[in-house]
Chain A
Amino acid sequence: MQEVKRVSVREIIAERKSKKKLFGLFKLSRGKSVWENVIAVGLFACSVFTILVTLGIIITLFSETINFFSRPEVNLWDFLTGTNWRPLSSNPSPENFGVRPLIRGTLMIAFISGAVALPIGLGSAIYLSEYASEEVRKVLKPALEVLAGIPTVVYGYFAISFITPLLQRVLEDGLGIDVSFFNALSASVVVGVMIIPMVASISEDAMRAVPSSLREGAYALGATKFEVATKVVVPAALSGIIAAFILAISRAIGETMAVMIAAGATPRMTLNPLESVQTMTSFIVQVSFGDAPSGSINGQAIYAVGATLFVITFLMNIISDIVLRRFREVYE
């Protein structure tokens, strides 16, 4: 679920904020007015609340995950390495609880949607920042942001009512390649379209923040507009562009609704995007909708999958932090 992804981001932000406010609190309590102290304490309470909620979620997540793994029917090693995910099988056993098909489905969709969104998003950002006139930009940028506000369910139905039939017509009827009605490619394309605005908008902000004196310097050396954009502006804005990419990919990993609708719910260890796959988030939703009783093996499996997703997005956050710091060192 998207909730799971947000937790990791929020937790980091909340932690940072709380540190600042703690110090602020101590500073303010020395000789400042009572009112100031009240404000500081109130803000402090807000941040404590955020942390407590976050901690609560994490504790629930992991304690249920521990419960799951302490069952005799499953074990951690087979969970992480197994290639069969059959949680509903009548014979619950470790070989039916391998999470890798779900991870693979998730990563396949993230990868293909990234391949769709990154070039198009970066291209739009370059156009908006470097080529578009002020009037065109004033219309296009808000339009792009409206695109980001469309509910994801709509994207899902767009996938099965437009993209999937199109793929079937072109690939199946035209080239004789089998295309399942539920398939990962269709889902990836709409998720890709869904995250284009994010890539474009954040990259464009980063590119517009590049001082125009750098552009002038490049023009004065005889650079063309395209050279200025690709050899000066994009490299100078690289840390922001990478941040946009990582945020967009995290969003693709966490995306649930559109993926469930378009890619179906067949956990499968495949690299063929024309088949149905299941992602981690769509498994969680599938089981939640099926009223799995708490304490049942499936009720607990969703926590184990959720925790896996949490760890993956958490690692991505850390990697992005490292990447950003690296590029900042080089470019600033």
Chain B
Amino acid sequence: MSADQNSNNHDIVFTTKQLSVYYGRQLAIRDIDLSIQRHKITAIIGPSGCGKSTLLRSFNRMNELIPTARVEGQVYYNEKNIYAEGIDPVSIRRHIGMVFQKPNPFPKSIYDNVAFGARINKYQGDMDELVERSLRQAALWDEVKDKLKDSGLALSGGQQQRLCIARALATEPDVILMDEPASALDPIATLRIEELMEELKRNYTIIVVTHNMQQASRVSDMTAFLSIDRNDLEARIGILVEYGATQRMFIKPEMQETEDYITGRFG
């Protein structure tokens, strides 16, 4: 029993307990309880404005960059509450990478973009090797190996997004958070990002927000469906409606609301 418990705990990267986030006095998400499994891809789906990004940003304490945001409840990362007093959000973010909806490479060279995180972390190893490895992992190496000194902004949108993924990988994170990473990309670039996620799953835990149902069903192992609380539509509070294995969620959801959303009958 206790051995079982241990292995269980080992498979869980994040656990949120009664997680609520406010923007000013407005409650954005309420009482989210969720466990994220290691080396799996977890998709967060739900209608616009239901708090998917807000939830994602509570995993690396990015919400507190917004002056009005306030977090209640706990988020355990490897069983440690990252919102406990005395925990430095900077040290948390060094283990949890993030990729944003719009590619946001720095106006620096491709090389410097990838090396950025490692440099501020005072990486001791061989930087050239790290840059190459990260770019290879992000399936971008072959396209840029001859122009590492060129600006990251000179790349196409899809390449920029893979550069941002490489940049996140170079800090050797444990988890990668992705907020609609392919929504600004064309179908081919999207497919490449999805293949990439499949690859990365072996070494990383991925949490991805997506609006694209096919994408969620194609790439994810687990799916969390968030929606506006129906009991209080006025307040527009995001709650977790259903969470489970993606296959089951898409074939036989437990909640009528989930089925409506997945089949496009929402709203």
Binding site for B on A (CB under 8 A): 133-134, 211, 213-224, 227, 231-232, 235-236, 330-332
Are A218 and B116 in touch, CB under 8 angstroms? yes
Max chain B Cβ within 10 angstroms of own Cβ: one of A214, A221, A235 = A221
CA of A221 to CA of B108 in the docked complex: distance in angstroms?
15
Contacts of B17 in A (CB 8 A): none
Instruction: Please tell me if the beta carbons of B121 and A222 are within 8 angstroms of each other in the complex.
Output: yes
Collect the chain A residues with CB atoms within 8 Å of residue B60's CB. Answer: 220
Contact B97 A221 (CB under 8 A): yes
12 CB < 8 A contacts A-B: A134-B67, A213-B100, A216-B104, A217-B106, A220-B100, A221-B168, A222-B90, A222-B93, A223-B117, A231-B116, A231-B120, A332-B153
Query: In B85-119, which residues have CB < 8 Å from any A CB?
Result: 90-91, 93-94, 97-98, 100, 102, 104-108, 116-117
Residue in A217, A222, A224 whose CB lies within 8 Å of B100? A217
Closest beta carbon of chain B to A74's beta carbon, Å: 51
In the complex the two chains form, what is the Cα distance from A216 to B104 in whole Å? 9
Chain B nearest Cβ from A205, distance in angstroms: 17
Q: Report A-chain residues with C-beta under 8 Å of the C-beta of B105.
A: 217
- Check B62 against A221 for contact (C-beta < 8 Å): no
CA distance A330 to B91 in the complex (A): 31
Most A-side CB within 10 Å, residue of B94, B97, B104, B105: B104
| Chain B residues near A (Cβ < 8 Å) | 60, 62, 65, 67, 90-91, 93-94, 97-98, 100, 102, 104-108, 116-117, 120-121, 151, 153, 164, 167-168, 171
Bound together, the chains give a CA A221 to CA B100 distance in angstroms of 12
Residue among A219, A224, A227, A232 having the largest count of chain B Cβ atoms under 10 Å: A219
A232 CB to closest chain B CB, in angstroms? 6
Tell me how far the C-beta of B244 lies from the nearest C-beta in chain A, rounded to whole angstroms.
28
- Tell me, in angstroms, the Cα distance from A222 to B62 when the chains sit together: 10
Cβ of B97 and Cβ of A213 under 8 Å apart?
no
Q: Closest CB of chain A to B170's CB: distance in Å? A: 9
| Contact among A133, A216, A331 with B151 in the assembled complex (CB-CB below 8 Å) | A331
CA gap between A211 and B100 in the complex, in Å: 14
Pick the contact of B97 from A220, A224, A331 — CB < 8 Å?
Answer: A220
Determine if A221 and B151 form an interchain contact, defined as CB atoms under 8 angstroms apart: no
> Is there an interface contact between B62 and A218, defined as CB atoms closer than 8 Å?
no
Contacts of A227 in B (CB 8 A): 120
CB distance from A332 to the nearest CB of B (A): 7
Residues of A within 8 A of B104 (CB): 211, 213-214, 216-217
The answer to whether A221 and B120 touch across the interface, beta carbons within 8 angstroms, is yes
* The 3 residue pairs across chains A and B that have the minimum distance between CB atoms: A222-B94, A221-B117, A220-B98
Residues of A within 8 A of B93 (CB): 219-222
- Whether the pair B107, A216 counts as a contact (CB closer than 8 A) is no
In contact, B120 and A222 (Cβ under 8 angstroms): yes
Chain A residue at minimum C-beta to C-beta distance from B102:
A213
Contacts of A211 in B (CB 8 A): 104
Contacts A213-B100, A224-B90: A219 and B65 contacting too (C-beta < 8 A)?
yes
**Once the chains bind, are B91 and A222 in contact (CB under 8 Å)?**
yes
Chain A residues with Cβ under 8 A from B97's Cβ? 220-221
Assuming the contacts A219-B62, A221-B97, asked whether A330 and B151 have C-beta atoms less than 8 A apart, the reply is: yes
User: How far apart are A161's CB and chain B's nearest CB, in angstroms?
Assistant: 43
Question: How long is the Cα–Cα vector from A236 to B112 in the complex, in angstroms?
Answer: 13
Closest partner residue, chain B, to A238 (CB atom): B107
Closest to B64 in A: A219
A331 to B93 Cα, complex, angstroms: 26
CA distance A223 to B65 in the complex (A): 12
Min distance, Cβ A6 to any Cβ of chain B, angstroms: 33
CA distance A258 to B102 in the complex (A): 51
Q: Which residues from chain B contact A236 at a C-beta distance below 8 Å?
A: 106-107
> A218 and B106: CB pair below 8 A?
yes
Complex CA–CA separation, A224 to B65 (angstroms): 12
Q: Are B90 and A223 in contact (CB under 8 A)?
A: yes
Q: Report yes or no: A217 in contact with B120, Cβ–Cβ below 8 A.
A: no
A235 to B152, CA, bound (A): 14
Give the distance in Å from the alpha carbon of A330 to the alpha carbon of B93 in the complex: 29
Nearest chain B CB to A135's CB is how many angstroms away? 11
A222 — which chain B residues lie within 8 A by C-beta? 90-91, 93-94, 117, 120-121, 171
* Known interface pairs A213-B100, A222-B93; 18 further A-B residue pairs with C-beta atoms within 8 A, sorted by A's residue number: A133-B67, A134-B67, A211-B104, A216-B100, A217-B105, A217-B164, A218-B116, A219-B62, A220-B62, A220-B98, A221-B94, A221-B167, A221-B171, A222-B91, A224-B120, A235-B107, A331-B107, A332-B107
Most chain B CB inside 10 Å of its own CB: which residue of A134, A218, A220, A232: A220
Q: Which of B60, B93, B102, B107 has the most CB of A within 10 A?
A: B107
Closest to B67 in A: A133
Give chain B nearest CB distance to A240 CB in angstroms: 13
Residue of A nearest to B108 (CB): A235
With a CB–CB cut-off of 8 A, which chain B residues contact A332?
Answer: 107, 153
Closest to A221 in B: B117
A residues near B62, Cβ cutoff 8 Å: 216, 219-220
Partner of A232, one of B67, B106, B167: B106
**B164 proximity list for chain A (CB < 8 A):** 217
Query: What is the minimal beta-carbon distance from B113 to any residue of chain A, in angstroms?
Result: 9
CB neighbours of A330 from chain B (8 A):
107, 151
Most buried by B among A223, A224, A330: A223
Residues of chain A lying within 8 A (CB to CB) of residue B90:
222-224
Q: How far, in angstroms, from A134 to B66 measured CA to CA in the complex?
A: 12
Assembly CA distance A213 to B98 (angstroms): 12
